[in-house]
Amino acid sequence: MKQKRILFTGGGTAGHVIVNLALIPYFQKEGWEVDYIGSKQGIERDLIKDLPNVTYYPISTGKLRRYMSLENFKDPFKVLKGMLDAWNVIRKTKPNVIFSKGGFVSVPVVVASRLRGVPTIIHESDFTPGLANKITTPFAKKVLTTFPETMIYLPKKKATHVGAVIREELFQGDKSLGYKVTNLIPGKPVILIMGGSIGSQKINEAIRANLDILLKKYQLIHICGRNNVDSTVKRKGYVQFEYVNEELKDIFAITDFVISRAGANAIFEFLALDLPMLLIPLSLAASRGDQIDNAKSFKEQGFAHVLEEEELSKERLLEEVEKLEEAAPVLKENMKKYSSKESREMVIQLIHEMAKK
């Protein structure tokens, strides 16, 4: 009997890789061959390269910009080259099904999959579909959504609401390892600050401006983003990281509260772990507004508090942290009603069904 094979794609940010990381181990346990198509220098290459028995294929890729740039004239040729690269990988690996998490690297892959006759499933994490997934939806067999509200933006025959896919390993954190990797101590509340894989200068500055006050009551784990660690800032109870991967589950295990951007994958992980969160979404000046929609949905469901970036200041941040702690019992009670394991099983089942076809 021929061995099943699945090809994953997605990249550009960690959010376009995390769901793939959650699914890959399940298909490996079932004996599937697993391949991954990503960009040549994106974060997805760093996150995938250490996975055992996963072959990574880098392809040429452009960037989907929403602003004028001379690079926009070059990108169509890069995308065409990427389509040829992806077509050759698909011809070589002969996958039964392709799973795409989005990001600009997925565009040539999904288009090439249609040309090769291989069924593709797209997963959309955000409240509204991202540009890459909008472009590739006509070429895919099915589009899965994390938010139920996203269904109205997609073709009815293709769209299925599944919820968030969470990495099983995040439920297996070890508190003792969490304290060891951070050099923090039990008995004092811990706030985890996350600004996304590239970090947030505005959040970083607001946190550091309040260090002396915050550290009287809390310990802080600050994931600053690439090249954003400030080595001149050193305080007892305050630890900085550029990015955390393997140790994240142990850090979650010692976390009491979260201050974060509102990327869909991250906030659904906080939800699954019952972590009270203060969300500071990217403003419209720096994004298409997807994080604002994500945060609004979570606030309306009673999962989070929200502070708009335009309202972020040294004083306001302290006020919101205090309100978050006061509301934490109610937020945690609301979050306990959400089940992430059912979502993951549904996605796995849909992939199985698509592979059979």
Are 175 and 276 found together in one domain? yes
Give dist(CA 190, CA 177) in Å, integer: 15
Please report the pLDDT score of residue 287 as a whole number.
72
Specify the number of domains making up the chain. 2
Please report the pLDDT score of residue 342 as a whole number.
82
**pLDDT per residue as tens digits for the range 315-351:** 999 999 999 999 999 999 999 888 777 888 999 999 9
Please report the pLDDT score of residue 14 as a whole number.
79
Are 122 and 49 found together in one domain? yes
Which H, E and C letters describe 245-268, residue by residue? CCCHHHHHHCCCEEEECCCHHHHH
Are 155 and 254 found together in one domain? no
Are 35 and 161 found together in one domain? yes
Please report the pLDDT score of residue 346 as a whole number.
93
Are 283 and 240 found together in one domain? yes
Are 312 and 224 found together in one domain? yes
Are 157 and 238 found together in one domain? no
Give dist(CA 290, CA 282) in Å, integer: 8
The enclosing domain of 49 has a CATH number of 3.40.50.2000
Tokens (6 digits) for 290 = 């997807």
**pLDDT per residue as tens digits for the range 188-205:** 999 999 986 555 788 999
Please report the pLDDT score of residue 70 as a whole number.
60
Q: Is 125 helix (H, G, I), strand (E, B) or coil?
A: coil
pTM: 0.82
Q: Is 141 helix (H, G, I), strand (E, B) or coil?
A: coil
Are 20 and 115 found together in one domain? yes
Give dist(CA 125, CA 162) in Å, integer: 10
Where does residue 137 fall: left (phi above 0), alpha (psi -120 to 50 degrees), or beta otherwise? alpha
Are 128 and 219 found together in one domain? no
Taking the alpha carbons at both ends of the chain, their separation in whole angstroms is 16
Residue 246 sits at φ, ψ, to 5 deg, of -65, -35
Are 175 and 154 found together in one domain? no
Please report the pLDDT score of residue 69 as a whole number.
58
In contact, 164 and 344? CB cutoff 8 Å: no
- The domain in which residue 10 lies consists of 5-165+340-356
The list of the chain residues with pLDDT below 50 reads none
Are 154 and 64 found together in one domain? yes
Are 262 and 175 found together in one domain? yes
